[in-house]
Amino acid sequence: MISSLDKPTHFQFSIKSLVLLLISVMFIPAWAEDNPPPEQLPLKDLRLFSEVFHQIRSSYVEEVDDRTLLEYAIKGMLSGLDPHSSYLDKKLYRELKVHTTGEFGGLGLEVGMEDGFVKVISPIDDTPAQKAGIEAGDLIIKLDKQPVKGMTLTEAVKIMRGKRGSKITLTVAREGLNHPFEVTITRDIIRVVSVRSRSLEEGYGYIRIAQFQANTGLQVGKALAKLQKNNKPLKGLVLDLRNNPGGVLHASVEVVDQFLAEGLIVYTEGRLPKTDSKYNATSSDPSDDLPLVVLINGGSASASEIVAGALQDHKRAVIMGTDSFGKGSVQSVIPLTEDRAIKLTTALYFTPNGRSIQAQGIEPDIIVERAKITRMDVHSGIKEADLSRHLDNANGKNGDDKKDKEKSDTDKDKTEIKDNQLYEALNLLKGIHILSLNRIEKDNKTPDKESL
């Protein structure tokens, strides 16, 4: 006899009892099928399920035990709902708990399902998948020559996971390429560094969030404070959310709170009252209204879209890049036993202005497609400063000094500017700073009306 499930949430039953219940449905009078009591399963459909269950038990080419069949049924129910709802068996539930700590084994991919294939939402920074050139939007159609079509996402993820040092060959279809290509990746322990920061140039900072973990908000606060200390004054900041697949909801709220002093950040709506929530900014703004550009792309999903959407609605930042992924649904992990659970979509996210993120995403204020930067060698012509016996500049400037500066700037650009989207974000911040200085200078020169 198969034992009952351990510590079920609402009721206790044995697999055998459930099977007997399903079989008994076959003998319910026909008149009851079309008139099920309120809040109960339709008996006609339940009888159909029971008949399928019975046929598989008795006629399938290989014997399958009742527990396995019921787990298959649960998986089927959840996978048929949406790409993000799933059944978590003992192994997957354990991996989920490990994953949220920021360290897990695998390739370093956040994935979903599309048209029966595994779709890459985003590669995670500094992981085997990213280093192998896997990009957001790629479709994985084979895993070690095994077609993905027909697999559930859970089954595909199981194959991609493996021991550190083991290899797997992915067959990838990419938009813009005529034929799929193969890439072999060596699995590794994935340690996700949530937040990185650095100075782009004097006075301009950069914060990269790779994934939203429990302490991401705190780390962003520390990174911001460090940049403000090392750049006096800090003239502008780039917040990079590209290829960030999301993560912990509260972390995204805490990140937005670093840049807002008040107002709604995000709210959720679902069927159950407990799934309706509102999250608001606190009464402080550590960024001190610093000019801000947020970078997003097709790999920016979920919590990343919450951050971009909130800052866009409050007109607190300029959103730059390409349309985000469009995952605006909330998944709740509901434990069934101590070692099994379901991940169920229970609500939808909405931006402060009431925009649904789901299947639409965040549209940037300024669209900047990803491009490769190449510098052209331009031979400058003869200028006045090159002529012999040219007159010196009346302001005491020396033409040779200007040439030295231009050469220095060119050499600097050659070594540092490789990311065109980041380059455009930095240029925008510089423009905002120049305009603000011009405005201040103009206001200072304008005479007071009372003195006229």
List the structure tokens of 254: 């805490």
Is 85 assigned a catalytic role? no
Q: What is the pLDDT of residue 119?
A: 92
What three-state secondary structure class fits 211? coil
Nearest to 221 by CA among 189, 194, 248, 201: 194
Is 327 assigned a catalytic role? yes
Q: State how far the Cα of 219 lies from the Cα of 197, in Å rounded to an integer.
A: 10
Q: What is the pLDDT of residue 6?
A: 34
Whether 231 shows a pLDDT value over 80: the answer reads yes
List the structure tokens of 12: 């206790």
pLDDT grade for 372, boundaries at 50, 70 and 90 = confident
214 contacts 154 by C-beta, under 8 angstroms: no
Query: Residue 202 — φ and ψ, nearest 5°?
Result: -60, 120
pLDDT grade for 9, boundaries at 50, 70 and 90 = very low
Per-residue pLDDT tens digits for 33-84: 555 555 666 788 888 988 999 999 999 999 999 989 999 999 999 989 998 8
Domain boundaries along the sequence of the chain: 15-64, 103-191, 195-367
Q: What is the pLDDT of residue 42?
A: 77
Q: What is the pLDDT of residue 446?
A: 64
pLDDT grade for 407, boundaries at 50, 70 and 90 = low
Which DSSP string do the residues of 1-20 spell out, in sequence order? -PPPPSS-SS----HHHHHH
Mean pLDDT value across residues 367-381? 75
What three-state secondary structure class fits 329? strand
Q: What is the pLDDT of residue 143?
A: 97
- Give the residue with greater pLDDT, 71 vs 5: 71
Per-residue pLDDT tens digits for 235-253: 999 999 999 999 889 999 9
Q: What topology does CATH give the domain 103-191? A: Pdz3 Domain (2.30.42)
53 contacts 67 by C-beta, under 8 angstroms: no
**At which residue do the structure tokens 């019921």 appear?**
70
Out of 235, 327, 329, 343, which one is annotated catalytic?
327
Please tell me the total number of residues recorded for the chain in this structure. 452
Per-residue pLDDT tens digits for 170-210: 999 999 899 999 999 999 988 878 999 999 999 999 999 99
Percent of the chain, pLDDT > 70? 81
Out of 313, 324, 329, 343, which one is annotated catalytic?
313
Q: Which range is least confidently modeled, 10-19, 145-154, 290-299, 380-389?
A: 10-19
Percent of the chain, pLDDT > 90? 56
- Check whether the bond before 83 is cis (ω within 30° of 0): no
Q: Where are the alpha helices (DSSP H) in 31-121?
A: 43-59, 66-79, 90-99
pLDDT grade for 10, boundaries at 50, 70 and 90 = very low
Contacts of 47 (CB under 8 A, 6+ apart): 25, 26, 28, 33
- Give the residue with greater pLDDT, 271 vs 283: 271
CA distances from 415 to 251, 408, 412 (A): 34, 11, 5
Out of 50, 86, 197, 302, which one is annotated catalytic?
302
Q: Which range is least confidently modeled, 203-212, 255-264, 384-393?
A: 384-393
Element (H, E) at 204: strand 204-209
Q: What is the pLDDT of residue 58?
A: 93
Q: State how far the Cα of 234 lies from the Cα of 306, in Å rounded to an integer.
A: 25
Q: What is the pLDDT of residue 114?
A: 86
SS3 annotation, 367-429: ECCCCECCCCCCCCCCCHHHCCCCCCCCCCCCHHHHHHHHHHHHHHHHHHCCEHHHHHHHHHH
Is 451 assigned a catalytic role? no
211 contacts 244 by C-beta, under 8 angstroms: yes
Q: State how far the Cα of 88 lies from the Cα of 85, in Å rounded to an integer.
A: 10
pLDDT grade for 158, boundaries at 50, 70 and 90 = confident
Long-range contacts of 310-316 (CB under 8 A, 24+ apart): 310/256, 310/260, 310/264, 310/265, 310/266, 310/351, 310/352, 311/256, 311/259, 311/260, 312/351, 312/362, 312/365, 313/351, 313/352, 313/353, 313/355, 314/260, 314/263, 314/352, 316/259, 316/260, 316/292
CATH superfamily label, 195-367 = 2-enoyl-CoA Hydratase; Chain A, domain 1 (3.90.226.10)
